[in-house]
Structure 1
């Protein structure tokens, strides 16, 4: 005797319609081989802490990269996971923690900025997830996966969209670890050239 009903028959027009889809501003596409940019930057350093940027991968709509943090000496109550993987606003902490935490971001040649502590995109708005034509009205720097230990942490980030040609400023600040606002400048053109080299990993539509 069958207790559970048979599963519904899928509509062939709907099957896999949205499988694997994510908005371009959320993260790098899974089906594109990026152009690789030889960026190896020591963004900031204090007596106890270094912040590094490496592994830049350029896609048609944005840049993926790895932010690394290394610390030495007494840790005290420092929690690298909280510092690096927390979102823009952590619950249960006060203004002092927010002021002293790790912050970093980019400024495009046209003056637009994207930082790790910007408010979430599309908060309270259904369009980012239901409207494929919707795009944020500002650049987005979003944290993704990673990991590490108490003294060493790496996290991937996604910068959307590609910066325009010209100067690309990178700024990092971490008062709690003795790092004042520190700026580096890159020429965006090698990043744009690498994005032009990116190519799909599949040839033709599925089933062709």
Structure 2
């Protein structure tokens, strides 16, 4: 005889499922899509001490993500100067809420479409504090999202993603970067926007009825 059989544990009451937040199309790629990959493999900037490269584009039905990475190699910097550069190197992209940050000290990204329309990182910072996220922006979004990095005695490296919405029109797409404090003036590469746009035809959905957007 089981001692506890006369004391059954009551079943918990039904629990309401919390609603799933689904970002609008301009804020993030669809959740239920396997992107098509477009290889880029180009340096936006390359010097004896600093490089910044674009590896590839992950293309979704609504926009694309550019995978970027950069590395700084130590030359003749003393320990104190190298520590100061470390702090600058790993500072995130500026936002509207930042105060007292010099433009020269941060990594800036930009995109320019064939028709001349431009966007700079982070375009979504335009929402703080007066514009709701669910209100479609007036122009394209180009948001920088840091992923991580490493730092040592001889070099520092980091990588990130650049979310571009909407997909670029046919023609040239110019990707621009600037980081004056790291010795990189305004530099750019030109990507085939037509190839990126056409790659969206190869996107695969996880499930046919799920879009991942409201």
Q: Same fold (TM over 0.5)?
A: yes
Which of 110, 118, 130 matches 1:113? 118
The 1:58–1:200 alpha-carbon spacing in structure 2 relative to 1, beyond 3 Å, is same
The 1:163–1:19 alpha-carbon spacing in structure 2 relative to 1, beyond 3 Å, is same
- Deviation per residue, 1:115-161 (Å, 9 max, x gap): 125471322346424xxxx3111111112351111201011221111
Could you tell me whether the CA contact under 8 Å between 1:89 and 1:117 is conserved in 2? no
Distance 1:199 1:39 in 2: 21
For residue 155 of structure 1, what is the aligned residue in structure 2? 160
1:179 aligns with 2:193: no
The 1:143–1:136 alpha-carbon spacing in structure 2 relative to 1, beyond 3 Å, is same
Superposition deviation, residue 165 in structure 1:
0.7
Superposition deviation, residue 35 in structure 1:
0.9
Could you tell me whether the CA contact under 8 Å between 2:174 and 2:190 is conserved in 1? yes
- Return the TM-score normalized by structure 2: 0.77
Distance 2:13 2:100 in 1: 47
For residue 24 of structure 1, what is the aligned residue in structure 2? 25
**Structure 2, unaligned runs of 5 or more:** 1-11
Distance 1:128 1:164 in 2: 24
Aligned counterparts, 1:78-117, within 5 A: 78=85, 79=87, 80-82=89-91, 85-89=92-96, 91=98, 93-94=100-101, 97-117=102-122
Superposition deviation, residue 7 in structure 1:
7.3
Q: How many pairs align?
A: 187
**Structure 1, unaligned runs of 5 or more:** 1-5
Cα RMSD, aligned residues only: 2.4
- Return the TM-score normalized by structure 1: 0.79
